[in-house]
């Protein structure tokens, strides 16, 4: 283990910032550090926070961090913006939001931005998350901007995913919501002091019913349970609760924290925590395995072999599947 890695484990913030840069840029030192830190990971509660622009997501993440700090937990924030070309500590995260958190050694904020491909961004985010986990941050808030596949990829990292809505964002947002709802463990209506909060809550509950048709109402020991975010006693069901918050005033935050803790407890008692961990590790392993396998295969190919195949492909002399067969079987061109 290097000096840098050891400094990170012992809580050195400057070392942490430097290591994060190496890991995000996928340097050899960064990779070695990830390997060395791996044994120290698996402790943190990873919480994904996603939602459309205009929902007040950043303020809510800020408030969540404050409330987790009050509960005595060390908190890291990873702010991911696929549309931004900027990365590092100072651009997105350290902006306006951090007035209340600045100077607190129990909080660390890191902004991640586009790395050319979305796959690259997800990998870099996963790597940063592992560093924070190893460095002893107990709660890691992963905030994503935008709507689409990036959210889904990054949500796969998290144990608990919060989807943030706000009243009155209109039909355009509704159209996107269907896919996003599938990843939600908790739904949060932020800006709940704005008009239209009831309509938004109704719409969300209707969509939840569509997404979880069998879960809408269920019976347990003759008792009827409805959509309320509680698992029925003795079952492993989790129905996403709908929480109302006002991030600017902190209203609803204690209840939201409670719901998050309840979800973590549910994950642990149902065995889903271990299952999510395993799925996450498997996905990471698969990616690395495939990359390495392909790179090794290509490295031992005779020079020009691939190019001549691709040329034959472009001239329509060879179909892709036949070309793959030739490549893997080592047939002559």
User: Alpha carbon 317 to chain centroid distance?
Assistant: 44
Residue (257 or 283) nearer to a copy of itself, CB: 283
State how far the Cα of 234 lies from the Cα of 231, in Å rounded to an integer.
8
Report the nearest approach of a copy of itself to the CB of residue 27 (Å): 14
- Pairing mode of beta strands 223-226, 217-220: antiparallel
Q: Where are the alpha helices (DSSP H) in 103-142?
A: 118-134
Between the alpha carbon of residue 264 and those of residues 65, 187, 242, 274, the distances in Å are 17, 15, 16, 11
Number of residues engaging a copy of itself in binding (CB under 8 A): 61
83 near a copy of itself, judged by CB under 8 A? yes
If one asks whether residue 277 binds a copy of itself (CB under 8 A), the answer comes out as yes
CA angle 63, 44, 83 (to 5 degrees): 60
Mark the segment that binds a copy of itself (CB under 8 A) among 2-10, 22-30, 237-245, 324-332.
324-332
Q: Which is nearer to a copy of itself, 38 or 220 (CB)?
A: 38
Per the rule left: phi > 0, alpha: psi between -120 and 50, beta: everything else, 54 is: left
Judge whether 231 and 194 are in contact, CB under 8 Å: no
313 is a site residue for a copy of itself (CB under 8 A)? yes
Structure tokens, 87: 């990365």
What's the rounded Cα separation, in Å, for the pair 145 and 79? 8
Shortest Cβ 284–a copy of itself spacing (Å): 6
- Least distance between a copy of itself and beta carbon 67 (Å): 27
Contact call for residues 164 and 190 (beta carbons, < 8 A): yes
Q: For a copy of itself, which residue of 202, 282, 308, 333 counts as binding (CB under 8 A)?
A: 282
Minimum distance from residue 317 beta carbon to a copy of itself (Å): 8
Using rule CB under 8 A, residue 300 touches a copy of itself: no
x/- site string to a copy of itself, residues 219 to 248, per CB under 8 A?
A: ------------------------------
Residue with tokens 């060390």: 74
Q: Which residue has the tokens 């709660």?
A: 139
Measured from the CB atom, is 237 or 312 closer to a copy of itself?
312
Per the CB < 8 A criterion, the answer to whether 45 and 159 are in contact is yes
Cα angle 40-45-49, degrees, rounded to a multiple of 5: 130
Output the six-digit token pair for 238. 């989790």
Say how many C-beta atoms besides its own lie within 10 A of residue 282's C-beta: 11
Which of 3, 28, 116, 172 is the binder for a copy of itself (CB under 8 A)? 172
Compare residues 28 and 332 and give the one whose CB is closer to a copy of itself.
28
Instruction: Verify binding: residue 31, a copy of itself, rule CB under 8 A.
Output: yes
Rounded least distance, CB 171 to a copy of itself, Å: 7
- The site for a copy of itself (CB under 8 A) is made up of 31, 34-36, 38-42, 52-54, 82-84, 114, 118, 145-150, 152, 169, 171-173, 175-176, 178-179, 274, 277-278, 281-282, 284-285, 288-290, 292-294, 296-297, 309-310, 313-314, 316-317, 319-324, 327-328
């Amino acid at each position: 283990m290097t000096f840098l890695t050891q400094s990170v484990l012992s809580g050195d913030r400057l070392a942490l910032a430097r290591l994060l840069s190496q890991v995000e840029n996928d340097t050899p030192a960064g990779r070695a550090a990830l390997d060395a830190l791996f044994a120290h990971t698996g402790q943190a509660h990873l919480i994904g926070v996603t939602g459309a622009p205009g929902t007040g997501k950043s303020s809510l993440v800020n408030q969540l961090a404050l409330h987790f700090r009050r509960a005595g937990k060390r908190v890291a924030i990873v702010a991911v913006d696929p549309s931004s070309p900027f990365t590092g500590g100072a651009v997105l995260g350290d902006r306006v939001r951090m007035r209340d958190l600045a100077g607190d050694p129990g909080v660390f904020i890191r902004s991640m931005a586009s790395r050319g491909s979305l796959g690259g961004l997800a990998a870099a985010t996963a790597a940063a998350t592992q560093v924070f986990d190893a460095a002893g941050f107990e709660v890691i808030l992963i905030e994503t901007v935008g709507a689409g596949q990036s959210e889904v990829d990054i949500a796969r990292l998290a144990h608990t995913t919060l989807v943030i809505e706000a009243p009155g964002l209109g039909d355009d947002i509704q159209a996107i919501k269907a896919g996003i709802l599938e990843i939600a463990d908790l739904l949060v209506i932020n800006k709940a002091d704005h008009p239209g909060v009831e309509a938004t809550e109704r719409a969300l509950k209707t969509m939840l019913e569509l997404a979880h048709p069998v879960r809408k109402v269920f019976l347990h020991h003759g008792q009827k349970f409805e959509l309320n975010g509680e698992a029925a006693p003795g079952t492993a069901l989790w129905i996403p609760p709908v929480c109302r918050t006002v991030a600017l005033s902190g209203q609803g935050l204690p209840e939201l924290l409670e719901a998050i803790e309840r979800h973590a407890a549910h994950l642990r008692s149902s065995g889903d925590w271990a299952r999510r961990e395993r799925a996450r590790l498997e996905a990471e392993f698969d990616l690395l395995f495939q990359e390495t396998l392909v790179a090794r295969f290509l490295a031992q190919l005779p020079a020009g072999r691939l190019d001549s195949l691709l040329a034959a492909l472009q001239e329509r002399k060879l179909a892709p599947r036949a070309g793959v067969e030739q490549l893997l079987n080592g047939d002559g061109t």
